[in-house]
Amino acid sequence: MVAAAMAFAGVEETESEGIARALRRKDSEFIGRLVARYHYRLLRYLVYVTGRRERAEDLVQETWLRVLERSGQFDGRLRFEPWLFSIARHLAIDDSRRRQAVPESEADGEMAASDSVSPFVAAARNEDALRVAGALGELEPIYREALLLRFQEELSLEEIGRVVGAGVSTISSRIQRGLGILRSSMKGENDAR
Amino acid sequence: MHGELHEKARRLWDRSLAEGLAREEELWLDGHAAECAECREYGELSQRAIQALDSLSFEVDGAAAARVESVVRQRAMEMKSVEDRRARVGAAAAIVLTIAGTRLAWPAAAWLAGQWHLPAPAWEMAFGTFWLAPSVLFGLVMLFRERLTGETI
């Protein structure tokens, strides 16, 4: 009825508004499609934030369950992606704190059992990518996520700021710093040639 | 002086990639890059780094993705069923409270109307408007919330 009334009034419903409405109504069909559509991007974001493939896989499901719980908070006036990523980020931070509280011996065991190859290196398909992947593995997560959100997700600085809870100038300097480190990794290769 | 120009050009390159530049800054940078091979290389290297970043491709475990989708859909259905049940209980409670409240409020309203010498049709209509209608409306909204908030997308 709402969609019909909007169409009648000549007001186009935006994609974000459609998502907000489906989430509020717990429309399982639509939500299933949404999960499938964002799976790769959410997984990739979580890999960048955690630096660990296995953790990222675990957090994807938790993120969607949290999205359902908080569906009333998303009104569709802004884009869906920043909201989704900010939920994922909070979960990743909570998860990291929980893991830091685990006694060192248990954490070591878990480390040894998990990703032996950096997920970034595993994702590299050419020489340049391998260089960048190596640098990404060393980079602090705040710089990695800023690079991902800017250059792969193509979010604006304001949107990135909403995801990470920082100002535009902070985000800009994180991107520039991260880019500088990636460039250095490429330059190393250039110098070696 | 020359060093300052290179420094400025690199600062602008970084800023252009992070947040974009004003038109004049862009023109200045283009002009400088056309003449300075070192700064041009700096910009090209930045672009290559971004392209390399873009080329990283994470493999997706299709079974894991399907599992997540199924769990989330299941949870959405459960939440919807709880919400629907709450709405039905809310509507039933509104009806019960309206009936019980009416049994108490009707004699009181009749007594007050007698004290103020109001004609029966007038106070009965006011009672219906201000006492019965809001409760009935609330109950109906709770019951037909689904249809009022929109169809399946």
A1/B137: higher pLDDT: B137
CB contact under 8 A, A128 and B18: no
Q: Is B64 on the interface with A (CB under 8 A)?
A: yes
Rounded to whole angstroms, the Cα distance separating A98 from B144 reads 44
Asked if the Cβ–Cβ distance from A179 to B80 is below 8 Å, we say no
How far B126 CA lies from chain A's nearest CA (Å)? 32
Inspect the interface and report whether the beta carbons of B149 and A183 lie closer than 8 Å.
no
CB A134 within 8 A of CB A182: no
| Better pLDDT: A12 or B19 | B19
Contact A33, B65 (CB under 8 A): no
Stretch A149-166: mean pLDDT, rounded? 95
- When pLDDT is averaged across residues A31-52 and rounded to a whole number, the result is 95
Q: How many helices (H) and strands (E) does chain B have?
A: 7, 0
**Confidence check: pLDDT of A154 > 50:** yes
CB contact under 8 A, A64 and B56: no
Q: Report whether pLDDT(A121) > 70.
A: yes
pLDDT tens string A69-84: 999 999 999 999 999 9
Structure confidence at residue A125 (pLDDT): 87
Q: What is the pTM of this model?
A: 0.79
Q: How far apart are the CA of A66 and the nearest CA of chain B, in angstroms?
A: 10
Q: Is the ipTM above a cut-off of 0.90? A: no
Angle at Cα A50 formed by Cα A47 and Cα A55, nearest 5°? Answer: 75
Chain A residues with CB-CB distance to B52 below 8 A: 126, 128-129, 131-132, 182, 186
Say if A166 is an interface residue toward chain B (CB within 8 Å): no
- The pLDDT, as a whole number, for residue A10 is 52
Q: Looking at residues B19-25, what average pLDDT do you find?
A: 92
Interchain CB contacts (distance < 8 Å): A and B: 157
pLDDT(B152) > 50: no
Provide mean pLDDT across the span A171-183. Answer: 93
Take residue B151 and report the two structure tokens written for it: 């169809």
**What pLDDT score was predicted for residue A6?**
55
Mean of the per-residue pLDDT values for chain A? 86
What mean pLDDT comes out for the span B78-93?
87
Interval B6-29 mean pLDDT: 92
pLDDT category at A103 given cuts 50, 70, 90 is low
Report CA-CA distances (Å) from A34 to A38, A65, A67, A139, B26.
6, 13, 11, 31, 39
Put simply, the answer to whether B53 touches A152 (Cβ < 8 Å) is yes
